[in-house]
Structure 1
């Protein structure tokens, strides 16, 4: 089985090496923005159909809790736009269900705990204003879809900041670099604006931002980028692309962390090396460099004999921790865990000791960690635990994390925030096996049995944060392979797993 896992890992890396964009799930939010912003782009009808098929029975779109608000606003606004272009049923019916969902799922005041996703504080008010503009225009035509009620701006959003950014764009003044990824929030003023123009990689690593800049024009490199990026999902688009550096560095780091040795094509390592500049590496073309992608890229390169000086991380240091990028709203505990791992490759130091203390200090009372780049506490807890373990710090914090994982395992052997998932189970298994405690072996083996029972072609629920939730499919599969490989290298877990594994005829993964 260990040899089979190495072969799977090798196959995944070769597929990744030949893919210039990365394998990421389609986004309701981003696809709906293209429906509104660039209807003449090839694939428009498929994008509308995608929105219709993705609507939940309650009329919403997107994930549980507050994660559904932004995609529901985006899809509802897009379908109202389509209706006003002359499309009627089923577009109008779906838009009405979306409006009812906004009123019932989150209430007339849209009171919701907003997740810490990318630019949520300006994207939500941008769409609330757009939906209200549709409702006003329709009411003027005698079509009152909400009995005259307009949507409020939910608590926690920043319409004032949005207005300020829109004034900057309208005046032709420079915009913060990080806003390029969410340029569509600024409205018509960004059509063709600014010194930055779309290239073959789009603008801001975002289909929606690229479409906003194009202003409906379907010629030029930006339009060709959109045509290419929709091909994987038949019209729908991911929330960000291309994310080559992010995907490759995370996959290689997952395998290296498990001790799984694979042959990596030279061009992949060359590309990662070239991506590291004076300010580190960006996750993809059109994004600014950040500490998270920088640290993970440095770690992946070091694991394959391509050590790069670590001083590019210095510009992200803030007192006892590191920011993901300058002027961020909230710090990321997993970014700091990854920085800790990268710095520890050069050996222990005063900096790594302080940083380990900062990471440990962010642990919740129940033993878990949470983070702004992922919806699941299992992602954050695993990455913090593994970083602290590798650096030899925070023994008490690691013990609390182990206890939390042990007591939150589901009856079927899985782990998950909302339901048991392949991805979250892989994180928990890695922690248990790294702990090396005899009492953890049975739980780890049961988790591995769940991983092996996951249907091969089953989708992985979106759990990662961008503008809305998404799945980096190859990264998720790499974490599962890493977990199973670790299990096979611990004899106690491997022996238990042999008893739990389904027979070959029964196995679905």
Structure 2
């Protein structure tokens, strides 16, 4: 595991440059990407693949990550998906495990989880817009109730069954699959909850060893029988996923293009001095096809990963004509993928950057994409929240979405975006915490970095209050950034952290402070703590 020194804000920025070099080296050394473990995904492997290396460590991970209230995961509706997965996994392990202290620990944890789930489901939880949540919850509640029915004697306090939940979409999908309809490519990422009609499909085969770039989906495919000659690559994929954290697994792996695109574009946008290895740039360019590129093998290509990849390559001096994005154009805005339910603010901000770069730097781009950038800028301004922020379906924090949109509008909106940017700056100033941090649930280094991107990355004279807010935010980064792990904020089946991407955001915030016209901001935080820049997750 690469350990990176924390950069100081003093001097000529050599420490920031060194941090960037270490980030790039880490991407080359760990090409699958660095991502935190998932309670949801780990629970699915406990239940569906107890034969896989690291089973005991996965059970331990479920025990030690349970919250005092009996749930797992982030606050509010974000708790439901990881908690139904963990509870179903513990019940499955209990039915297979012999007696003893270990069984008592599993039973106690399962009982606490059942109690909290009973309350949440009875109240009809509001689920956040995470992938396949409306399929995962009813599918796993059904499995939990099946597990409870098979216990000969339930411990005191356990319910006979959990309350029912809305399963209309799951039932409709089961009916389509039973009628022989193909499994939609975007649903392969949640293959593990699609039911027997999907698991028995002979047309589902792994890509690069994985089904839907998901350990849970791949384990379900292997357990259901898979196909001749294909288990070997799938098992190798699962072993590699297990090896990342010694037992627990992430939601999506590999994330090679996603990690590289976001990290390189973030560093480049902020003006961080670095040199990307030619091999890194060549591999990023090679990932682009006629429809763009997906986040991971076996997933559909999407406009978000495609646009960030295009923007990163352009900033690195290797522009690629962005015609692959035109297939996602809906007129007023761009979809993340064809057939998307809803829309993504950050996808459209990233598309604005990718197209806007070509408008500004190429003759053909000016003619071909100017109208699209103007329409995108209007769409983004129109959906700004009344308080001045933006929110998005791919991240739990409005600070991420707001920074993405503000930087895109300030950099590439043809006209008319200044008022929206000003409102966003006002919102950031108004929501800073007493300790200098920003954050949805608590102050985090990640969200503080995004807030600083808004305050420092916008052109023009600094607004009243910005100087003090930046000074306090930088001081927060210096005193807390390397001392603890922030909570996961990125959306997958449950929340996760793409570690290098987040670290790049922090490095970029420091670079912006170093290059601002007010040198007092750069010195405000004082010397760095010297703790590690990147920790093993």
In which range does the TM-score fall when normalised by the shorter chain? over 0.9
Please tell me whether the aligned partners of residues 182 and 204 of structure 1 are also in contact (alpha carbons under 8 angstroms).
yes
Alignment partners' CA distance in 2, 1:147 and 1:412: 43
Deviation for aligned residue 1:99:
0.4
Alignment partners' CA distance in 2, 1:16 and 1:333: 27
Q: How does 1:356-395 map to 2 (within 5 A)?
A: 356-392=377-413, 393=415, 394-395=417-418
Alignment partners' CA distance in 2, 1:364 and 1:500: 32
Alignment partners' CA distance in 1, 2:388 and 2:23: 33
Alignment partners' CA distance in 1, 2:475 and 2:206: 46
Alignment partners' CA distance in 2, 1:195 and 1:384: 40
Deviation for aligned residue 1:459:
1.6
Indicate whether 1:446 and 2:472 are aligned: yes
Between 123-132 and 437-446, the greater mean CA deviation after superposition: 437-446
Other-structure match for 2:52: 41
Other-structure match for 2:362: none
Pick from 95, 105, 117: which aligns with 1:90?
105
Deviation for aligned residue 1:109:
1.3
Please tell me whether the aligned partners of residues 172 and 193 of structure 1 are also in contact (alpha carbons under 8 angstroms).
no
- Per-residue deviation, residues 297-335 of structure 1 (Å, max 9, x unmatched): 000000111111111111101121000011111100110
- Per-residue deviation, residues 35-74 of structure 1 (Å, max 9, x unmatched): 0001101111111111011111111101111000110000
Other-structure match for 1:237: 249
Alignment partners' CA distance in 1, 2:275 and 2:515: 19
Other-structure match for 1:433: 456
C-alpha change, 1:188 and 1:82, in structure 2 (3 Å) is farther
C-alpha change, 1:497 and 1:446, in structure 2 (3 Å) is farther
- Per-residue deviation, residues 417-475 of structure 1 (Å, max 9, x unmatched): 00000000000001101234153122112111111222426222100001110000000
Indicate whether 1:257 and 2:239 are aligned: no
Report the 3-state secondary structure (helix = DSSP H, G, I; strand = E; otherwise coil) of the residue aligned with 2:104. coil
Please tell me whether the aligned partners of residues 188 and 217 of structure 2 are also in contact (alpha carbons under 8 angstroms).
yes
Indicate whether 1:337 and 2:349 are aligned: yes
Other-structure match for 1:181: 189
Alignment partners' CA distance in 2, 1:334 and 1:468: 19
Other-structure match for 1:137: 150
Other-structure match for 1:64: 75
C-alpha change, 1:257 and 1:269, in structure 2 (3 Å) is same
Pick from 292, 302, 306: which aligns with 1:290?
302
C-alpha change, 1:338 and 1:153, in structure 2 (3 Å) is farther
Deviation for aligned residue 1:3:
1.2
Other-structure match for 1:317: 329
CA RMSD of aligned residues (A): 2.0
TM-score, structure 1 as length reference = 0.94
Aligned residues: 500
Indicate whether 1:480 and 2:506 are aligned: yes
C-alpha change, 1:485 and 1:147, in structure 2 (3 Å) is closer
Indicate whether 1:3 and 2:3 are aligned: no
Alignment partners' CA distance in 2, 1:292 and 1:422: 24
Alignment partners' CA distance in 2, 1:288 and 1:272: 17
C-alpha change, 1:362 and 1:188, in structure 2 (3 Å) is same
Indicate whether 1:22 and 2:37 are aligned: no
C-alpha change, 1:39 and 1:216, in structure 2 (3 Å) is farther
Report the 3-state secondary structure (helix = DSSP H, G, I; strand = E; otherwise coil) of the residue aligned with 1:220. helix
Other-structure match for 2:374: 353
Indicate whether 1:101 and 2:106 are aligned: no
**Could you list the runs of 5+ residues in structure 2 that have no partner in the other structure?**
1-9, 360-365
Alignment partners' CA distance in 2, 1:206 and 1:507: 33
Between 390-399 and 234-243, the greater mean CA deviation after superposition: 390-399
Deviation for aligned residue 1:173:
3.8
Alignment partners' CA distance in 2, 1:504 and 1:272: 33
Report the 3-state secondary structure (helix = DSSP H, G, I; strand = E; otherwise coil) of the residue aligned with 1:103. helix
Alignment partners' CA distance in 1, 2:384 and 2:404: 12
Other-structure match for 2:491: 465
Other-structure match for 2:4: none
**Could you list the runs of 5+ residues in structure 1 that have no partner in the other structure?**
none
Alignment partners' CA distance in 2, 1:146 and 1:217: 37
Alignment partners' CA distance in 2, 1:296 and 1:424: 20
Pick from 422, 447, 452: which aligns with 1:399?
422
Other-structure match for 1:300: 312
TM-score, structure 2 as length reference = 0.89
Between 264-273 and 162-171, the greater mean CA deviation after superposition: 162-171
